[in-house]
Amino acid sequence: MTHRIAFQGELGAYSHQACREARPDHEALACRTFEDVIEAVRQSEADLAMLPVENSTYGRVADIHSLLPQSGLHIIDEAFVRVHINLLAVPGTPLGVVTQAMSHTVLLGQCRKFLSEHGIHRVTGADTAGSARHVAEKGDPALAALASELAGEIYGLDVLARHIEDEGNNTTRFLIMSRQADMSRRGAHGMITSFVFQVRNIPAALYKAMGGFATNGVNMTKLESYMVGGSFTATQFYADIEGHPDDPGVKLALDELGYFTDMLEILGTYPRDPRRV
């Protein structure tokens, strides 16, 4: 039986690269939107979802945190993908022939130095893999794409220059989600637990809610807030902590958090990726 993992974007996207690296035994299913990715798993068209949540350069991926609690899915793993940007062109093209490079605006901004040095003008495309596909279809040696090596492989393009990004540490974190939760202890580098909550409408509720993690020695690696339903008063929080819900300290901290919240939902507990820093 073929297992499938769904991602947002076109074949050759960095999300597709994440699927290949994290689940090489799964067939990748390209979806148009994040909602489509979630629905594919909910409808059993795919077994897993690969969803980007944050980037080391650009921060949180918009809308993802608000989608997670409503998805009905559970986080079972995390994956980190180093975003290497490559200049791709139709086969046989010398670098000196390229006058334009197409990609998502974010990637264009990350390669300013290389493009400037080679007199290559930037052309905004819808996304990285779509730009690579467009370059392949057009067949113009003067037009190249900025994308992953995987995109070059898929669309039959040559890699004219590898790893041309200005910054050397651009990394995207992904969450792998499933219809079934996996609360088992696994992995060799400890566990991460992710959850969302809304604090009660009482003075210093957030301060008091967070106190239990400090007093019980639980390390919180992420805490982010976002509005719910467009309201300025209903604020929801997303958090990652080190540890498993059955750990004594984590259990006490979550019990204390529950006292100061109107809603608390554990999204998943999963192995800590060794590429975390």
Residue of 34, 174, 213, 237 marked active site:
174
Helix (H) or strand (E) holding 71: helix 64-71
201 vs 168: CA distance, rounded Å = 44
Whether 174 is a known active-site residue: answer: yes
Q: Are 12 and 125 contacting, i.e. CB atoms less than 8 angstroms apart?
A: no
Would the CA dihedral through 254, 258, 262, 268 be positive or negative?
A: positive
The count of C-alpha atoms lying within 13 angstroms of the C-alpha of 186, restricted to the half-sphere facing its C-beta, is 10
Residue of 93, 114, 128, 172 marked active site:
172
Q: Are 21 and 50 contacting, i.e. CB atoms less than 8 angstroms apart?
A: no
202 exposure class (CB count in 10 Å sphere: 0-12, 13-18, 19+) = exposed
Q: Are 48 and 177 contacting, i.e. CB atoms less than 8 angstroms apart?
A: yes
> Which of the residues are catalytic?
172, 174
